[in-house]
Amino acid sequence: MEEKKEYFDVIVVGAGPAGCMAAIKASENNKRVLLLEKNNDICKKLLLTGNKRGNITNLSTLDEFFPKYRNGNFLRNGFARFFNSDLIDFFESNGLKIKVERGKRVYPASEKAEDIANLFKVLIAEKKIHLHLRSSVTNISYRRKIFELTTSKNSFACEKLVICCGGASFPDTGSEGDGYIWAKDLGHTIIDPLPALCGIITEEWYVKKWQGTTLKNIVIQAELEGKKIGEEFGEIIFTHYGISGPAALNLSRIISENKDKGLLNIVINLKPGLDDKTLDNRLIRELETNSKKQLKNLFKNLLPLALISPFLRYAKLDEEKLASSITKEERKRILDCLQRFSFVVKDTRSFNDSMVTRGGVKTKEINPKTMESKIVPKLYFAGEVIDIDGKTGGYNLQAAFTTGYVAGVSV
C-alpha cells in the first residue's frame, strides 16, 4: 500500500533568503505552504554575509547593477518588480531599520545579520507557513502533474515546487549542490558549478611572507596567455596562500572558469591613478630629492614596507643601491614593475572558502518573468541554484531576494 503523503499547495526547498522570501510571498496568495530546511535553523549562510553584518543589497542604480553579474540580463524583469528600494521597504515596513554605508552597501542598522533571520522567523510564524527544520530532501519525483518529495522524516506532495537550496559554496551551511541534482533529474541543464568570490592561490612561495599586507586603490587584472580577461579596482590583502580582499574576490569569478585554459597571471598596477608621464616625473623627483638614499629607504614613499625588498628583487635592482646611481634603463624598469607587478595563478580557493557559486541551472531554461521552469510546468527556481553570480557589495543577496520574491508571487 502506497504511503500517504501530506499535501501542500506549494513546497519551498531551502530556507535561505530566497526560500524565505518565496514562502512568505506564496503564503500571501492564500496558498498552503511548506518550507523545508535541512539545517537546524533558517538562513544559516545569510548569517555570514557582510562579515556577519548582513549586506542585504546595494543602492546603485538599475543600470549599474546588471554589469555586476554573470547573466545579469536574466534579472531585468525581476528587478522591475522588486529592486533595492522595494527590498528596503519590505524590511523597514516589518520593523527592521536599515542603514547605508560606503560603496552604497545596505545593512541592518543593528549591523547584525541575525536580525534579518529573526524577522523572517516572525513572518513565517505570522503567515502560518509550515516550517520543517532538520528535513533533508532525499528524493523528488514528478508524475501526474504532482511533485512528490521524500525527506529524512516524512513524505509530501504538492502542485507547485520552488527549489532554492543554494549552490555549492560554504557547504557547511547546507549548500551542498543538492538543487543541481534534482534540477538535472527533472530535465534541466546544469552549468558546471565553480567557486566564486574566493581567494586566489599564487605559485610564488614568498607571498606568504607578506601575509596581512594590504594594498588599497590598486588595479588588479587577470591575464590568460598574456591577454587581459578581467580587471578590478580596489583593495587586496596578501595571505598565506596568495591574495584576497574585495578586488581579488571579484576577479576570482573570472579566474575560476579560466584556470584550466592556459597560463594565468595576476597583474597589479600599484599606481593606477598616475599615467606613464606623471609617474615617471614622480619617480624622477623622488630619485633627485633622495639622491643619497638607498633604494630600500627611498621606496618607503612609494610602497608598503613589506613589499619594498621583494619589489626591488622583482625589478632586478639592488636594494642598497643609491638613488643617484639609477640609470635611465633602470628607472624605466621600475616604472614597468610599478604598473605590472605580476604573479602566476595556481588555483582558486575551494568551495569551502567561496562566498558564492558560479554556475547552476541554465538561465535559458527558466522564465525570467516568473522563475518557472520552461521544461517542467509548476517547477520554480530562486537564488544561488540559478546560474547567476554577482560581485561583492550586496548584489548576490539582492538577486536571491528578487528571484525568491518573483517565484513566490508567481506560484
Task: For 153-197, write each residue's pLDDT tens digit.
Answer: 899 999 999 999 999 998 888 888 999 999 999 999 999 999 999
pLDDT tier, 1 (very low <50, low <70, confident <90, very high otherwise): very low
Tell me the mean pLDDT in the region 74-99: 97
pLDDT of the residue at 3: 61
Higher pLDDT, residue 133 or 175 = 133
User: What are 25-31's contacts with CB under 8 Å, separation 24+?
Assistant: 25/404, 25/405, 25/407, 25/408, 25/409, 26/162, 26/407, 26/408, 26/409, 26/411, 27/127, 27/128, 27/129, 28/127, 28/408, 28/409, 29/408, 29/409, 29/411, 31/160, 31/411
pLDDT tier, 292 (very low <50, low <70, confident <90, very high otherwise): very high
Question: What count of other Cβ atoms lies within 10 Å of the Cβ of residue 374?
Answer: 13
pLDDT of the residue at 387: 98
Distance CA 137, CA 155 (A): 9
Assess contact for 165 and 16: CB atoms under 8 A.
yes
Distance CA 245, CA 216 (A): 10
pLDDT digits (tens, 9 = 90+) for 205-253: 888 888 899 999 999 999 999 999 999 999 999 999 999 999 999 999 9
What the block records as the C-alpha cell of 376 is: 517542467
Tell me the mean pLDDT in the region 108-129: 97
Q: Kindly report the CATH number that applies to the domain delimited by 6-194+356-410.
A: 3.50.50.60
Tell me the mean pLDDT in the region 315-322: 93
Are domains 6-194+356-410 and 199-349 of this chain identical in fold? no
Supply the mean pLDDT for the chain. 94
pLDDT tier, 118 (very low <50, low <70, confident <90, very high otherwise): very high
Assess contact for 385 and 61: CB atoms under 8 A.
no
Tell me the mean pLDDT in the region 70-87: 97
Question: End-to-end CA distance of the chain, in Å?
Answer: 31
Listed residue (321, 17, 3) closest to 166, CA to CA: 17
Higher pLDDT, residue 10 or 306 = 10
pTM: 0.93
What the block records as the C-alpha cell of 333 is: 624598469
pLDDT digits (tens, 9 = 90+) for 333-382: 999 999 999 999 999 999 999 999 999 999 999 999 999 999 999 999 99
Name the residue ranges covered by the structural domains of the chain: 6-194+356-410, 199-349
Distance CA 9, CA 7 (A): 7
pLDDT of the residue at 334: 94
**What is the torsional sign of CA 65, 178, 34, 55?**
negative
Domain 199-349 in this protein, CATH class: mainly alpha
